[in-house]
Amino acid sequence: MAEETKEMNPEIVGFACSFCTFKASEMAGSLRLKYPEGVKLIQVPCSSRVDPAFVIKAIFEGADGVFVAGCHPGDCHFIKGNYYTRRKIVALKEMFDAFSMKDKLRLFWVSAAEARRFIDKVTTFYNDIKEKKNEREKA
């Protein structure tokens, strides 16, 4: 038993806009599509509600990765919320880049109809984080 290396399962926190990405995740559920159990979604009224402080807090409280997801630019329920998100998250990514942890944060645009795209994006992110985490564990 001791010889076998245990696979690390990462925890991912996702901030999902309640009008697009959260709807997409619900649709994925009704289509019986699966996404990794380690992904925890937090519903926010708009992706611009996400203060970068939330992201930093999530990472330092133990999340291995964080994603922020909202409507496509121009489709925001509140007209222009996701344009602000884009600026904020791009700046936050640049800051994470300065601290050599850019791979921990991603930004997606997923509309309410794109259940498969949501599954695809989330699973790719989860697998990338898992790969990196297991590599680090071995080293």
Partner 1 sequence: MKGKKLKSGEIENALNRFLKNEQHLVLGFRKDESGVSQQIFKGNIDNYSLLNPVFGSNAALYLRRLFSKGLKVMLMLRPCEIRAYVELHKLTQIEREDIIAVSIDCPGTVSSKEKKDVVPTEAGQLAEYFKNSDSMRWACSVCSEKRGVVGDAGIRIDKANNYWIIPYTEKGEALLSDIEGESEEVPAEMLTPKNTKMDMFQVDMATFEKDFEKCIMCMNCRDMCPVCYCIDCVFHGDEYIPKGDALINKIFRSGSTKMPQGKELFHLIRMYHVSQTCVGCGACEEACPQGIPLTKYFKGVSERLQSIFSYMSGRSFDETIPYVTFLEDELKDATD
Q: How far is the CB of 117 from partner 1 (least distance, A)?
A: 11
Q: Which stretch binds partner 1 (CB under 8 A): 1-9, 21-29, 32-40, 90-98?
A: 90-98
Q: Does 131 bind partner 1 (CB under 8 A)?
A: no
Task: Tell me the number of residues near partner 1 by CB under 8 A.
Answer: 31
d(C-alpha 18, C-alpha 125), whole Å:
20
| C-alpha–C-alpha distance, residues 114 and 27, integer Å | 9
42 binds partner 1 per the rule CB under 8 A: no
Query: Could you tell me which of 48, 42, 53 has the C-alpha nearest to residue 77?
Result: 48
Give whichever of 1 and 139 is closer to partner 1, judged by the CB atom.
139
Give the count of alpha carbons within 13 A of 15, CB side only.
Answer: 26
Binding-site string for partner 1 from residue 44 to residue 83, where x marks contact by CB under 8 A and - marks none: --------xx--xx--xxx----------xx-----x--x
Please give the structure tokens belonging to residue 129: 């984080």
Q: Which of 69, 60, 72 is nearest to 11 (CA)?
A: 60
Contact call for residues 106 and 128 (beta carbons, < 8 A): no
Name the residue nearer to partner 1 (CB basis): 3 or 61: 61
What single-letter DSSP state applies at residue 71? Answer: P
* Sole binder of partner 1 in the list 8, 29, 40, 101 (CB under 8 A): 101
By CB under 8 A, name the binding residues for partner 1.
52-53, 56-57, 60-62, 73-74, 80, 83-84, 86-92, 94-95, 98-101, 106-109, 121, 125
